[in-house]
Amino acid sequence: MKCTRCHKNEASIEYKSIINGRSRQENLCLDCARELGLNFGAGGIGPSWGPLAGMFGNLYDQNWGQMWLPGSLSPDQREVCPHCGMTWREFRNGGRLGCADCYEAFADQLKGLYARVQRGAKYDGRRPANSPSSAATVADEIAELRAAQALAVKNEDYEQAAQLRDRIKALSEEGGVKKNEEKR
């Protein structure tokens, strides 16, 4: 999309502005944004953005507050979810994803969001009650083996403990499980 001010450069900043009570969607290139006095450093476009502060009364998305700022759109942010057809832009306007695959399609962009509104980017909790994934069963098995190993050590049955250790090691090296193990 071209910049709505100079109509030459590619737009990379998107925000809502309210001028004389009328809401407008603006898409600016970096140069125009700078000229207008919008600064977007580490703190993003904050409440103190230069001479136009009074004019652009509502840079804040209604649903999201300031978490959406800075609102820079890099080219990859125009990606589409292959499953449901949701675009990043559409999501930003509506605030709701279209399907589970959106998490995959917008993984990079969402990382920035997690950094602002979440505690991290890695889940910490239980699996679904009926989780059929093999990773779950392997991880559970490892947990059980660990418990058995601890018990063996406590009972000073070192031979048994060593066998268990080897089985845990073998299981841990199977794909997909490593990540979960690191967490524990």
Q: Alpha-carbon distance 11 to 3, whole Å?
A: 4
Q: How far is the CB of 114 from Zn ion (least distance, A)?
A: 18
Nearer to other proteins, 114 or 158 (CB): 114
| Residue 128 engages other proteins in binding (rule: CB under 8 A) | yes
> Which string of DSSP letters, residue by residue, matches 53-103?
TTT----SBTTTBGGG-S-B--GGGG-B-TTT--BHHHHHHH---SSTTHH
Helices (H), 9-64: 30-35
Residue among 17, 87, 93, 180 that touches other proteins (CB under 8 A): 180
175: CB partners within 8 A, 6+ apart: none
Residue among 30, 97, 143, 153 that touches other proteins (CB under 8 A): 97
Which 3 state secondary structure label does DSSP give 169? helix
Nearer to other proteins, 110 or 161 (CB): 110
Q: Alpha-carbon distance 78 to 67, whole Å?
A: 19
Stretch that binds other proteins, among 1-9, 40-48, 125-133, 141-149 (CB under 8 A): 125-133
By residue count, the chain amounts to 184
Q: How far is the CB of 107 from Zn ion (least distance, A)?
A: 12
> Which string of DSSP letters, residue by residue, matches 130-156?
T---HHHHHHHHHHHHHHHHHHHHHTT
Stretch that binds Zn ion, among 8-16, 44-52, 68-76, 165-173 (CB under 5 A): 8-16
Which 3 state secondary structure label does DSSP give 165? helix
> For other proteins, what does the binding mask look like between residues 23 and 62, x meaning CB under 8 A?
----------------------------------------
Residue among 45, 59, 73, 102 that touches Zn ion (CB under 5 A): 102
Interacting residues toward other proteins by CB under 8 A:
83-84, 86, 94-100, 102-103, 110, 113-114, 117-133, 135, 176, 179-180
> Under the rule (CB under 5 A), what is the footprint of Zn ion?
3, 5-6, 9, 29, 32, 81, 83-84, 86, 98-99, 101-102
